[in-house]
Chain A
Amino acid sequence: MSRSSAWETVSIARRQDRPNAYYYINEIFDDFIELRGDRSFADDRAIIGGIARLDGIPVTVIGQNKGMDTKENIANNFAMPNPEGYRKALRLMKQAEKFKRPVICLIDTPGAYCGLGAEERGQGQAIARNLLEMSRLKTPIISGVIGEGGSGGALALGVADRIFMQENTIYSILSPEGFASILWKDSSMAPQAAEVMKITAKDLYNFNIIDRIIKEPIGGASENPKEAARLLEVYLKEEIIGLIQSPISEILKNRYNKFRKLGEFM
């Protein structure tokens, strides 16, 4: 089977030792205080969030958090959130709006969890609500992919004013495996799927869906996590300064138009 460059990116994005949201939060932000729970059902460990400082500015930071080892991954459900995870994220975003803190979301999920409980508690509703509320949240939002950006489960943290992807990450409608099995009835054709699906940072940048590709150390973020964090930190600090100086009405109008123009048709 021929290896595609897109498939190599998939492999780097999924590395077990790739720095996770928790790592970046601690490396980039100061005084992180975690806030837990959705206030109605549970505290979903697939998503973490809280208050911290970025360059001295109080912000709300939220991230889908894979585990750095198997034990942690099981505890975090491999960063596949249940509805309570999305509801916690929304609670923290509304809180950020109230206290006029910018929001930063770090996306890293194979997708929203497909389980019995997730359906019973309204996975679709939880994601939909986040999309709607993020589109009108009266505070700046920066979102970006730090690993896998899988489907609606990723987008539910991705309606933002600035959207980035690290160099070796993917953002897609579903996993290449899922795509291959649905359209070609053969999940082993995932490498080919990765290619045709156009899921790399470069692809999305060319489609005007993301604003910036963040460089990674050679070989990917896992090879030098500290350096990867530094590169991301430079970007976040630069963007947040610009955003907090813009009037919120301007920001909201631009956020709406940013998504409104997406789509190809005749």
Chain B
Amino acid sequence: MLNGIFRKPRYAQIKGRKDENVDNKPKIPAGMWIKCKACKGSIYHQDIKKNHGICPTCNYHFPLAARSRIHQILDRGSWKELDKDMESVNPLGFDSYNRKLEKAKDISKQNEAVLTGVGKINKIKLVIGVMDSRFMMGSMGSVVGEKISRAIEYATEHRLPLILFTASGGARMQEGIFSLMQMAKTSAALARHDDNGLLYITVLTNPTTGGVTASFAMLGDIIIAEPGALVGFAGPRVIEQTIKQKLPRGFQQSEFLQEHGMIDMIVERRELRDKLSSLLLLHQPKEGDIDV
């Protein structure tokens, strides 16, 4: 009867959330209130929207839809999309890939993980490509590789500067070796752009990993990253499994990359347009070339 009277009662334990950077699945704000992944605060979604998709409390940069990015960066009305209708096929006949593509199209309301086109920043014409992590983690398959290669070739042919915004979990596994070859294809196209003395800027956003990091993301003449973005070749989980130890705090974040000499600068989202504008202006060959 007296059994257990002095015993400590057992409570269910609720484990704390793991490091916020390990889980890098982009969640697109849907409800009225959104929980910030970094500071865990609840924020009214209009406040995030008004603030360029940045947490007003802790400055966490939420993943941005490609169209929102284009809206933030380009001069109003200057955007002309290229290769809008290009769609993926299933080259290996991989089970469930078609379904995944349909779902991704549904969620993102676009055909693939990158939008490419021509536009202007403060009246300077450029080619721009923006990846969207909502589309199958922004993974690179044949369409992403082809659209980016065509955008690069367009820039080379029209002697335009090129800006690519990266956001990608890496290669599109379902396309196997075709996906891998996109790394070589895009890099080769960049070599020609480079040979023509043209400016290429990359903006690395959260997350940029795998085959995208190991190709066009790290090839910019100027490499910019958003604050706190995860950028690396191998993902943190793969590295932890390989070395069998926990990664240090902040490992593979923009600040870490800057410290190790891998990027030129970290620029907050609300200052990006101005920074890009200044860089473009410094690379304008002569006044007459500015399209007014």
Interface residues of A (CB under 8 A from B): 112-116, 118-125, 127-129, 131-133, 135-136, 151-152, 155-156, 158-159, 171-174, 179, 182-183, 196-199, 203-204, 207, 209, 255-256, 259-260, 262-266
In the complex, the chain A residue whose C-beta lies closest to that of B211 is A152
Interface residues of B (CB under 8 A from A): 86-89, 91-92, 94-95, 141-143, 145-146, 149, 171, 173-185, 187-192, 194-195, 210-211, 213-219, 231-234, 238-239, 242-243, 247, 251-252, 260-262
**From A121, A156, A183, residue with most partner B Cβ within 10 Å:** A183
Residues in A whose Cβ lies below 8 Å from that of B262: 122, 125
Q: A152 to B180, alpha carbons, bound, how many Å?
A: 7
Residues in A whose Cβ lies below 8 Å from that of B182: 262-263
Q: A261 to B88, alpha carbons, bound, how many Å?
A: 15
Partner of B176, one of A118, A133, A199: A199
User: Shortest Cβ distance from B73 into chain A, in angstroms?
Assistant: 24
Determine if A124 and B194 form an interchain contact, defined as CB atoms under 8 angstroms apart. no
Residues in B whose Cβ lies below 8 Å from that of A125: 213, 218, 262
Closest 10 CB pairs of A and B: A263-B142, A124-B213, A135-B188, A114-B234, A131-B187, A124-B233, A264-B91, A127-B214, A123-B233, A125-B218
Q: A133 to B168, alpha carbons, bound, how many Å?
A: 23
Determine if A183 and B180 form an interchain contact, defined as CB atoms under 8 angstroms apart. no
Partner of A123, one of B94, B192, B219, B234: B234
Determine if B88 and A265 form an interchain contact, defined as CB atoms under 8 angstroms apart. yes
User: Shortest Cβ distance from A149 into chain B, in angstroms?
Assistant: 9
Determine if B171 and A118 form an interchain contact, defined as CB atoms under 8 angstroms apart. no
Contacts known (A128-B217, A152-B180); A135 close to B260, Cβ less than 8 A: no
User: Shortest Cβ distance from A90 into chain B, in angstroms?
Assistant: 13
Q: A210 to B47, alpha carbons, bound, how many Å?
A: 53
In the complex, the chain B residue whose C-beta lies closest to that of A122 is B262
Between A and B, 10 residue pairs with Cβ closer than 8 Å are: A113-B242, A114-B238, A114-B242, A124-B214, A124-B218, A128-B214, A152-B180, A199-B176, A255-B188, A262-B181
User: Shortest Cβ distance from A83 into chain B, in angstroms?
Assistant: 9
Residues in B whose Cβ lies below 8 Å from that of A155: 180-181, 183-184
Determine if B188 and A259 form an interchain contact, defined as CB atoms under 8 angstroms apart. yes
Q: A249 to B89, alpha carbons, bound, how many Å?
A: 34
In the complex, the chain B residue whose C-beta lies closest to that of A117 is B243
Determine if B189 and A260 form an interchain contact, defined as CB atoms under 8 angstroms apart. yes
User: Shortest Cβ distance from A186 into chain B, in angstroms?
Assistant: 14
Residues in A whose Cβ lies below 8 Å from that of B181: 155, 209, 259, 262-263
